[in-house]
Structure 1
Amino acid sequence: MKAVLFANTDWYLYNFRRSLAMSLRRQGYDVLLISPPGPYGAKLRALGLRWEPLPMARRSLNPLREAALLWHLVRLLRREQPVLVHGFTIKCAVYGSLAARLAGVPARVNAVAGMGYVFTSSQMKARLLRPVVRGLLRLALGGRGARLILQNADDVALFQQAGLVDPQHIRLIRGSGVNCAQFALATRTRSADDERPRVLLACRLLWDKGLDEFVNAIRQLRLQGCSLHALLAGTPDPGNPATVPEATIRGWVAEGLVTWLGHVDDMAGLLASVDVVVLPSYREGLPRTLVEAAACGLPLITTDVPGCREVVTDDVDGLLVPKGNSEALAHAIRRVLEIPGLAQRLGEAARLKARTQFDEHIVIEHTLEVYAELCDPLAAPAESSP
């Protein structure tokens, strides 16, 4: 059987779904990965995986360009004749499912990790697009041959209430999976010339990840005389309207508030060098950064919002703070740094949860079960024929 995995960046396929692709190949699937062009396509090919670039612009609203992309996908699927298409993020879910229907692909799986810019932003552009995207989602996600994978219970309830998809076709799989053993085995490292506790925010540099709250919290802690080293890992995302301008980030660096690390390939190594991980996001699917930090046994501080509270239970394996509240974030950071034994207690509980709920083996197993729901009935007639 052939499966197509479709994402809006090659970076996403490489970092979040390559283990799934490798597992599918071991299961006997012929796997094709597709995304807009980028440097990670070569890395996927180096693993022996098939990858093809698409003429896709994430921010495009040009009807002619979007129609051309849809027709390109239809032709590709007719050429490949897969039994299943799996799309990631809302745009890929819509376009991949519509193209699969037009190309006669029998099985469609879509994984929506969070509601995306259109549903989370209060900007006029997002509000105008919302009803259009809702209609497209209903069209793309419907049908007996479709399954929708969501990453947290809040999104399940939202999709059910909105009537976007048959509730019987929704599956809850928490996250994209993390190799917990890889992160747990990372050697703890610290710089000999800086003994200050290190607080890390690692994410795409978007306003809705809580960057403003993080920087303001650090500013407050400095004014309170709290000694710490604030690290910011990640890069701006020009494909997202909520991206933080690089000039703003460099201004924070010049102010002495944060050290900007840029893109970090070795997240296990970085996490092994820090003391606390924070993510003051406004909404998530299920944040991989928090799971990776949990696998390392680090204390977590995040917001009490969908996705984040799937990973953190307040005062059990981390601390939850209100969204958009830099004062509460600063207070939580200070608690973890100053209360004896708190960081260790939270970190140990976080590691246990990561291993038992979010390890990639668990996520891949559940994903293959969804594939089997759709693909096994298709294969049965051929297997039973003489």
Structure 2
Amino acid sequence: MSDSNRPVRLLFLMNEALFFTTHRISAALAAQAAGYEVHVAAPFEADPVSVIQGCGFHYHDLPLKRGGRSLFGEARLLARCARLIRQIKPDLVHHVAMKPVIFGGLVSRLLGVGAVVHAITGMGFLFIRDDWQARLLRALIRPLYRYALGHPNGRVIFQNPDDLQMFLEQDLVRRDITVTIKGCGVDMTTFAPVEPPAEPLVVMFPARILGDKGVHEFIHAARTLKAAGAGARFVLVGRRDPANPTDVAEPVIRAWEAEGLVEWWGFRADMPAVLPQAHIICMPSYREGLPRGLIEAAACGLPIVTTNVPGCREVVHDGQTGFLVPVRDGPATAEAIGKLLDDAELRRSMGRAARLLALDEFTVEAFVADTLATYDAALSKKGAG
């Protein structure tokens, strides 16, 4: 598909336009600066699409519903992916998250796209739940993953070693085409420590309002600590996600507010200004790829309470930068938060260690360099073939 008289065409296939602007735009801008012609295909959202087009990228609508399972909807998505690839003629397609990897990967391989990069950003609720429906869907998608990830000129990016090991054990990917890039990087000048705000102390949950993100354990902790006399404010900063089966309905959230347990600040695009209003970050998630929200918190020098699960334990070193608690354990979450509420020096020391860890492992510069190197590896393999 390449043409020596034009720039290398890079197509991002995304499950959300917003996710592109928050997690991948730095790599896309670097690719553009390196001479790539950048295209982005994602479901339409007015504000993120305005950002995408404002960067000089080519935007394409994609009829993808993350929670959708209708045969018609999935067939429509496949057909749209095929039309886009025939129209754009990309030299390299970067598929991000489960549906783009599977559906875009199938089409890219069938249509002979020269090179592909797949980003496994987490296992999603299908790999967290263990009911019969989840087991059936996992059995159905495994062969699709295996085919999509078998492109002869491909690279597969994992964010944590547990996800990589799972794919290897289930024979979904060859080890020699895998790359580990820890998260999506954070600008350490944009996210930086400031003096802690005045009391009352603020405990912040910076994530979508989902059961799988641990919001119920966070609420349990808030209720427990407030009943014990804690004067802290507990704040939810994130949007609902009705496409996810563990989404929390708005009336439930409003009831938590009415009970005096939490404040719901909703989705905020200005997280560099929001995070410094917190003293403690808590996200007791059930499983992650590598959560950007926790990386941003660490960069801001905040102590973190999270779970000892894949993705989260890559960001928090237990007892040093925060606390790791057992998954689905509200009492343990409350106990860890309580320790930090009671000890200002512990908050300061863990926050300093978190900032150093972020500087060492999670800079945006490292993420961009590793991503562009992965593109080069996939394209050079295409050239060698």
Global fold match (TM > 0.5): yes
In structure 1, what is the equivalent of residue 59 of structure 2? 51
Which residue of 309, 312, 316 corresponds with 1:312?
Answer: 316
Alignment of 1:110-149 (within 5 A): 110-149=118-157
Which residue of 154, 159, 179 corresponds with 1:151?
Answer: 159
Contact kept, 8 Å, 2:317 with 2:323, in 1: the verdict is yes
| Distance change >3 Å, CA 85–CA 380, structure 1 → 2 | same
Give secondary structure in 2 for the equivalent of 1:309.
Answer: coil
Give secondary structure in 1 for the equivalent of 2:189.
Answer: helix
Contact kept, 8 Å, 1:86 with 1:96, in 2: the verdict is no
In structure 1, what is the equivalent of residue 5 of structure 2? none
Deviation at 1:124, TM superposition (A): 3.5
RMSD: 1.5
Deviation at 1:254, TM superposition (A): 0.7
Which residue of 24, 29, 33 corresponds with 1:17?
Answer: 24
Q: Which deviates more from structure 2 when the two are superposed, residues 97-106 or residues 309-318?
A: 97-106
Q: Return the alpha-carbon distance in structure 2 between the equivalents of residues 321 and 137 of structure 1.
A: 32
Q: Return the alpha-carbon distance in structure 2 between the equivalents of residues 340 and 34 of structure 1.
A: 46
- In the alignment, structure 2 segments of 5+ residues that lack a partner are 1-7
Contact kept, 8 Å, 1:74 with 1:102, in 2: the verdict is no
Give secondary structure in 2 for the equivalent of 1:230.
Answer: strand
Q: Return the alpha-carbon distance in structure 2 between the equivalents of residues 377 and 282 of structure 1.
A: 37
Q: What letter is aligned with 2:90?
A: P
Deviation at 1:339, TM superposition (A): 2.5
Q: Return the alpha-carbon distance in structure 1 between the equivalents of residues 337 and 74 of structure 2.
A: 45
Which residue of 361, 371, 380 corresponds with 1:376?
Answer: 380
Q: Which deviates more from structure 2 when the two are superposed, residues 226-235 or residues 61-70?
A: 61-70
Give secondary structure in 2 for the equivalent of 1:87.
Answer: strand
In structure 1, what is the equivalent of residue 83 of structure 2? 75
Q: What letter is aligned with 1:299?
A: P
Deviation at 1:279, TM superposition (A): 0.8
Q: Return the alpha-carbon distance in structure 1 between the equivalents of residues 264 and 68 of structure 2.
A: 30
Which residue of 10, 13, 25 corresponds with 1:6?
Answer: 13
How many residue pairs get aligned? The number is 377
Q: Which deviates more from structure 2 when the two are superposed, residues 69-78 or residues 197-206?
A: 69-78
- In the alignment, structure 1 segments of 5+ residues that lack a partner are 382-386
Q: Does 1:260 align with 2:269?
A: no
Q: Which deviates more from structure 2 when the two are superposed, residues 41-50 or residues 372-381?
A: 372-381
Q: What letter is aligned with 1:164?
A: L
Alignment of 1:142-291 (within 5 A): 142-184=150-192, 188=195, 190=197, 195-291=199-295
Q: Which deviates more from structure 2 when the two are superposed, residues 260-269 or residues 47-56?
A: 47-56
Q: Return the alpha-carbon distance in structure 1 between the equivalents of residues 150 and 383 of structure 2.
A: 22
Q: Return the alpha-carbon distance in structure 2 between the equivalents of residues 120 and 314 of structure 1.
A: 23
Contact kept, 8 Å, 2:303 with 2:354, in 1: the verdict is yes
| Distance change >3 Å, CA 380–CA 119, structure 1 → 2 | closer
Deviation at 1:305, TM superposition (A): 0.5
| Larger RCO (alpha carbons 8 Å, 6+ apart) | 2
Q: Return the alpha-carbon distance in structure 2 between the equivalents of residues 246 and 346 of structure 1.
A: 34
Deviation at 1:355, TM superposition (A): 1.1
Q: Return the alpha-carbon distance in structure 1 between the equivalents of residues 233 and 181 of structure 2.
A: 35
Deviations 1:93-149 (CA, angstroms, capped at 9, x unpaired): 011111111221011111111101211123443222110011110111113212111
Alignment of 1:37-48 (within 5 A): 37-39=44-46, 40-48=48-56
Which residue of 286, 293, 298 corresponds with 1:294?
Answer: 298
Deviations 1:141-161 (CA, angstroms, capped at 9, x unpaired): 113212111100111111111
Q: Does 1:321 align with 2:325?
A: yes
Q: Return the alpha-carbon distance in structure 2 between the equivalents of residues 226 and 377 of structure 1.
A: 58
Give secondary structure in 1 for the equivalent of 2:191.
Answer: helix
Deviations 1:13-38 (CA, angstroms, capped at 9, x unpaired): 11111111100000111110111111
Deviation at 1:376, TM superposition (A): 2.5
Give secondary structure in 1 for the equivalent of 2:86.
Answer: helix
Deviation at 1:231, TM superposition (A): 0.5
Q: What letter is aligned with 1:371?
A: Y
Structure 1 segments (4+ residues) deviating >4 Å = none
Q: Return the alpha-carbon distance in structure 2 between the equivalents of residues 240 and 34 of structure 1.
A: 21
Deviation at 1:377, TM superposition (A): 4.2
Q: Return the alpha-carbon distance in structure 1 between the equivalents of residues 381 and 133 of structure 2.
A: 42
Give secondary structure in 1 for the equivalent of 2:32.
Answer: helix
Deviations 1:308-349 (CA, angstroms, capped at 9, x unpaired): 000011011111111111111111111112124111111111
| Distance change >3 Å, CA 378–CA 135, structure 1 → 2 | closer
Q: Does 1:34 align with 2:41?
A: yes
Question: TM-score, normalized by length of structure 1?
Answer: 0.94
Contact kept, 8 Å, 2:159 with 2:180, in 1: the verdict is yes
Q: Return the alpha-carbon distance in structure 1 between the equivalents of residues 12 and 117 of structure 2.
A: 9
Q: Return the alpha-carbon distance in structure 2 between the equivalents of residues 174 and 125 of structure 1.
A: 31
Contact kept, 8 Å, 1:75 with 1:103, in 2: the verdict is no
Q: Which deviates more from structure 2 when the two are superposed, residues 59-68 or residues 207-216?
A: 59-68
Deviation at 1:188, TM superposition (A): 4.7
Q: Does 1:104 align with 2:108?
A: no
